Structure 1
Amino acid sequence: MNDLYRRTNLTCFKKPALSFGTTFTASRLYTMPPKRKATSQTPSEGPATKKSAFEALQPSVKTEPKTEPESETKIKSENAPDYEDPNRERLEEEYGVIQRDFYPAEMSNERCAQYNANEIPRPIEVLTQAVQKTAFARKKIEVGDAVVHWFKRDLRTKDNRALHLASEKAKSKGVPLICLFIVSPQDYQAHLTAAVRVDFELRTLQVLKDDLAAKDIPLHVETIEVRKKAPGRIIELCQSWGAKHIFCNIEYEVDELRREAKMTNTCLEKGIDFHAVHDDVVVPPGNLTTGQGKQYSVYTPWYKAWIRHLHENPTMLDEFAAPEQNPPSARVKYAEIFKTKIPPAPENKKLSDEERERFKSLWPPGEHEALDRLNKFLEKKINKYKDARNIPSANSTGVISVHLSTGTLAARTAIRSARNVNTSDKLDAGNEGIKTWISEVAWRDFYKHVLAHWPYVCMSKPFKYEYTKVRWEYNDEHFARWCEGRTGFPIVDAAIRQMHSMAYMHNRCRMIVASFLAKDLLLDWRMGERYFMEHLIDGDFASNNGGWGFSASTGVDPQPYFRIFNPLLQSEKFDEQGDYIRKWLPELKDIKGKAIHDPYGRGAGKQAEKAGYPKPMVDHKTDVLRGTKKA
């Protein structure tokens, strides 16, 4: 499973015995968004009961031997649901699964099918067409008084394709390079960006600003309150600087692809060449197809094609040079930009003083830290990565996911660096630890590929869109206890509390926690998907969505069956001595031996109860099957 969380935020709503409108963490009260009023016109009825969840699936049950590598129970689903829950859309909106403040009502399954049948152009195809149709006219545009690079999720100077191209364009005519970053509070809200992630980005921007200033390159950072005004403001800034070329790296979410397509055309009308390029992935989405010319929906054959493509095109891993020094006159001409400060976090994404200091210590910002962390991992840990990567207490992973997601480290740099310390030039040969790690980083590319070709996953639809009709539960108290790390399952609770304390969770634990929410509690997996995004510093939509889809069996998966992780078996296998549990659940630190994995089931119940640790909220052995039976 992926160290970068290829496999894997919402509210607690009613008020059970405890008040769950907020959830306590190590030192902070994490406020969760209130349950919103539904906008649909369906009758107001109560949430689905335990018996009704999955009731239309009617799968046959098959339990695999415990020797299964993932300690999974497999439940085969013969048919997707063939009914429509009249309350589904109301519940999805009420519980924040569908964000109507920023997005339209849920896309229909029929429209998803039209995307899959190539009857509707995908946003990435719309962008590609815009680029191709305007190429000749854009090529004729002469360089103006400056060239602009628009930073987004590529906050680095090294190995940055668009930044390199912008620098080369500026150098060709001896004009200065100006860099730009837009702080968008509405985008942070719409994208469910964690406050800790916003803090990390802003701290990284200061590092970036200093690095660019050392080369006399100004970085203009501006807050734009209304997200739809950002493209127009960027054009205004370019015109004020006399720039006729804007470079940026492509983001693969639907709104961003549509924005870039529109800006390609709008900028041309203003006499500006808007140049968006692939850089966030090693191999651009769409480059790899099956023998029938179709896109891959299964990782293993896609990965083989990815490896083959890179072996046939080794220059795709070449490094892009950092930007050149600006002309000395830039310091004087853009003195006001050099003087500006990085703005504070928007009000809705501010951390407390204690949190800022804690996360500043845990997560130093910037590309220098990213490269240092990568190099130390390659030097000291990668050789043992294959065997140790699933042990959450082992500190055996690179923990570079935050740098990949913010772009302080390019995936291309990570792959190239691993290859360079390998015993083979082949990406799928040589050292076992290096081979395994490269295959894990590749999952990030794969999920971006899925995002681009199946765009409806960006719109709260599962990859297997027919599973939209699964009757998930919306149990406020159950979700609240999951959010707080008080489920009574130690490995699950330890993982949640690690996330609250560090804004990070080990990848193996992400899968365990996600499976527990979807399979044991039968809660809508998108509630967990949202909660992760709102609390993780390394939140990346594609990887997070893909991981939760995997865990809920609604995502990209080669076989149509449910995987159900047994939290007890997972705990015993990957935290054998209970070191991880004891670290994050101090109330259980004195429990001895195997009882740490299941205090109430292994004779340590009184000790756990006295320490304030709750009893298990569900019975895994029976509850994972209850949702497969008809009411």
Structure 2
Amino acid sequence: MPIESNVLNNGALNPNSLMWFRNDLRLGDNPALNAACEYAGVHGGKVRAVYLVTPKQWQHHHVAPMQIDFIRRHLELLARSLGALGIPLDVLYGQVFDDTAALLVDYVNEHQIGAIFAGKEPEINEQRRDNALIASGLNLTLLQQDCLLAPGAVLNLSGDMYKVFTPFSKKWKQIAASMQILPVPVPAPVGSAITQIAPIVFDCPMRSSEAWQAGEGAAKRILERFLNQNVAEYQVLRDFPAEEGTSRLSPYLALGIISPKQCVAAILQRFPEALVDYTSPAKTWLNELMWREFYRHLLVAFPRLSMGHNFNALGDGIKWRNDKAEFNAWCEGRTGYPLVDAAMRQLNQTGWMHNRLRMLVASFLTKHLLIDWRWGEQYFRQQLIDGDLAANNGGWQWSAGTGCDAQPYFRVFSPLSQSAKFDSDCEFIKRFVPELSEVSNKAIHEIKCSAAYEAAKVDLFAPPELEGKSATYPAPIVEHSFARKRAIEVLSALKKG
């Protein structure tokens, strides 16, 4: 399809601009939106905005139905906010990324668009899509707004991407401390307010996300409340799933409803020393933001990560068991380990899981059950409201021992030790595993397999003895010490020669 609208008959560029929203559903700190407004202002044109819906691509990328609903709700609010600036938001419907070119060409021709602006994305399919669009002749300008420091900006002395987080974080802080971290303001209105906003409807499977507040304003309020009330205790409380100790900002960061620059700027407003003082109350949460950037930088530096490859090529030699029945038991929260099951039921019921529990259940799947981390990564992506390839891939490969700066293959979490340490009164466990509500906390933390199983050391076993255990709660799927020994043997494929 011809691209005709970029240039007028007199050879000048068309004055109108287009903001293409992707995972940056915000007005504040959105350089691409500001660039679109500036372009139209300079050329005396108008600004429009689009969002492309591609249900089959979402399905291919295993995007959770709850996250899709969250996107839809945010788009409705975004449309109103843009309308107040005089910018109409149109939703274009395709199926896959390959439909993007035709949709955009038709749109720029119809509305005489001279330039398109969008935020860069780190994933390989998204990069290939954008490169193809630029090669086709579309005047597409991509701006970095997904990370505080752009991928490729934090390199070692050899000019390579860091493969260990600690030196990356030190360099990241050093660079960030030398910058003025000022979020880009919301642009001024560019036209008359648009008051008639049509409802946004997606024709694809969705699951209600109503438990999460929608909108840029909600994200800012959550950030403010966290920094005012919880950030100083985050280092301790973040490990206890029954506590409201985490920021709960991950769904908003995943969709770009709030930016990392806005988060860091808000930290520095309250804790100006946070980037240089290792005793700052904000250091632990700042560290989490740096892990997010680390994984995104890795995705750009090593595109194979977007394609499901082990970061550590030695991981290709692991002989995964991949037992489908055991995988289903893990997915459904029927492993017989109460904290693992409570965590998986939290995921299935709410679309979110506490961070420490993500590490626990990932370790359990890959090490106790020896199931390929990619199975777990995909299942998480299909459920999580905060689904994000970089963080999801990074976390799963870290847990499996196959990733960059990963947990050692011989470190295997004990589910019972974890529950005794981080949910000692079983408040979280009993909230999500009600079958155990009448069981003593001591019994829950000391579940054991039968003596016959202990002697045989095989995968089949008799139910354990559990005081007051409901008949509906399963026996442990595997005994811990046996599973640990087996995992170390199998995962020794990761041992450096």
User: TM above 0.5, one fold?
Assistant: yes
**Correspondence for 1:258:** 128
Q: Is the 8 A contact 1:595 1:604 kept in 2?
A: no
Partner of 1:618: 478
Partner of residue 598 from structure 1, selected from 430, 446, 456:
446
SS in 2 for 1:248: strand
Residue 241 of structure 2 corresponds to which residue in structure 1? 392
Q: Distance in 1 between matches of 2:259 and 2:296?
A: 14
SS of residue paired to 1:147: strand
Question: Could you say what secondary structure the match of 2:136 adopts?
Answer: helix
> What residue number does 1:134 align with?
none
Mean alpha-carbon deviation: is it higher for 424-433 or for 166-175?
424-433
Q: RCO greater where, 1 or 2, for CA within 8 Å and sep 6 or more?
A: 1
Q: What's 1:540 paired with?
A: 388
Say yes or no: does 1:164 pair with 2:20: no
Q: Matches of residues 243-254 of structure 1 in structure 2 within 5 Å?
A: 243-254=113-124
The residue type equivalent to 1:622 in the other structure is F
Task: Provide the C-alpha distance between the structure 2 equivalents of 1:300 and 1:442, rounded to a whole number of angstroms.
Answer: 10
Cα distance in 2 for residues equivalent to 1:590 and 1:560: 37
Structure 1 519/157 Cα, relative in aligned 2: closer, same or farther at 3 Å?
same
Q: CA deviation at 1:143?
A: 4.6
Letter of the 1:615 counterpart: A
Contact 1:311–1:426 under 8 Å retained in 2: no
Counterparts of 1:590 and 1:428 in 2: how far apart (Å)?
Answer: 49
CA separation in 1, counterparts of 2:52 and 2:381? 20
Q: Secondary structure at the match of 1:564?
A: coil
What is the aligned partner in structure 1 of residue 202 from structure 2?
Answer: 344
Quote the residue 1:177 is aligned against: 47
1:280 aligns with 2:136: no
Looking at structure 1, the residues matched to 141 and 402 of structure 2 have their Cα atoms a distance apart, in angstroms, of 36
Alignment check: 8 A CA contact 2:65 2:383 kept: yes
**Residue 490 (structure 1) aligned with residue 338 (structure 2):** yes
Paired position in structure 2 for 1:404: 253
- What is the distance in 2 between the residues matched to 1:383 and 1:345? 43
Aligned mate of 1:577, from 399, 421, 425: 425
Structure 1 length-normalised TM: 0.71
Q: Which SS does the other structure have where 2:336 is aligned?
A: coil
- 1:174/1:327 contact within 8 Å kept: no
Q: Which runs of 5+ in 2 are unaligned?
A: 1-6, 451-463, 491-497
1:81-96 equivalences in 2 (<5 Å):
none
Residue aligned with 1:393, SS: coil
Structure 2: how far apart are the matches of 1:169 and 1:436? 40
SS at match of 2:243: coil
Counterpart of 1:472? Answer: 320
AA at the equivalent of 1:386: Q
Shift of 1:560: 5.8
C-alpha spacing 1:433/1:574, structure 2 compared with 1 (3 Å): farther
Aligned partners of 1:518 and 1:525 also within 8 Å = yes
Aligned residue among 604, 608, 621 for 2:469: 608
CA contact (8 A) 1:162 1:276 kept: yes
1:448-489: CA deviations, max 9, x gaps? 011011111111101112312311112111011101101000
Aligned to 2:64: 194
Report deviation, 1:425: 3.7
Quick check: 1:386–1:432 contact (8 Å CA) kept in 2?
A: no
Contact persistence 1:175–1:327 (CA under 8 A): no
Partner secondary structure for residue 341 of structure 1:
coil
Mapping for residues 502-581 of structure 1, pairs under 5 Å = 502-557=350-405, 561-581=409-429
* Mapping 1:46-65, distance limit 5 Å: none
Code of the aligned partner of 1:398? S
How far apart are 1:599 and its partner, in Å? 4.1
Aligned counterparts of 1:488 and 1:428: Cα–Cα separation in 2: 45
Matched-pair contact (CA < 8 Å) for 2:312–2:402: yes
Instruction: Tell me the CA shift for residue 598 of structure 1.
Output: 3.4
Tell me by how many angstroms 1:573 deviates: 1.3
Within 2, Cα distance between the matches of 1:561 and 1:528? 17
Do the aligned partners of 2:398 and 2:406 also contact (CA within 8 Å) in 1? no
Structure 1 residue 151: Cα displacement: 0.2
- Residue in structure 2 matched with residue 30 of structure 1 by the alignment: none
Q: How much does 1:319 deviate?
A: 1.1
- Equivalent residue for 1:370, pick from 188, 212, 219: 219
Q: CA deviation at 1:592?
A: 2.0
Q: Counterparts of 2:408 and 2:278 in 1: how far apart (Å)?
A: 34
Check the 8 A contact 1:181/1:221 in 2, yes or no. yes
Give SS of 1:530's match.
helix
Which position in structure 2 is the counterpart of 1:291? 157
> Does 2:157 match 1:308?
no
Report matched runs for 1:445-484 at 5 Å. 445-484=293-332
Deviation string, structure 1 residues 83-114 (Cα, Å, up to 9, x no partner): xxxxxxxxxxxxxxxxxxxxxxxxxxxxxxxx
- Structure 2 residue corresponding to 1:219, chosen from 74, 83, 89: 89
Q: What amino acid sits opposite 1:242 in the alignment? A: Q
Percentage of pairs with the same residue: 34
Superposed CA RMSD in Å reads: 2.0
> What one-letter code is carried by the residue in structure 1 that aligns with 2:297?
H
The Cα of 1:557 is off from its aligned counterpart by: 1.6
Closer, same or farther: CA 420–430 of 1 in aligned 2, 3 Å: farther
Indicate the SS of the match to 1:399: coil
The alpha carbon displacement at 1:289 in A equals 1.3
Letter in 2 for 1:280: D
Residue 410 of structure 2 aligns to a residue in which SS? Answer: strand
| TM-score where L is the length of structure 2 | 0.90
CA–CA separation in structure 2 for the residues paired with 1:311 and 1:254: 30
Could you list the runs of 5+ residues in structure 1 that have no partner in the other structure? 1-136
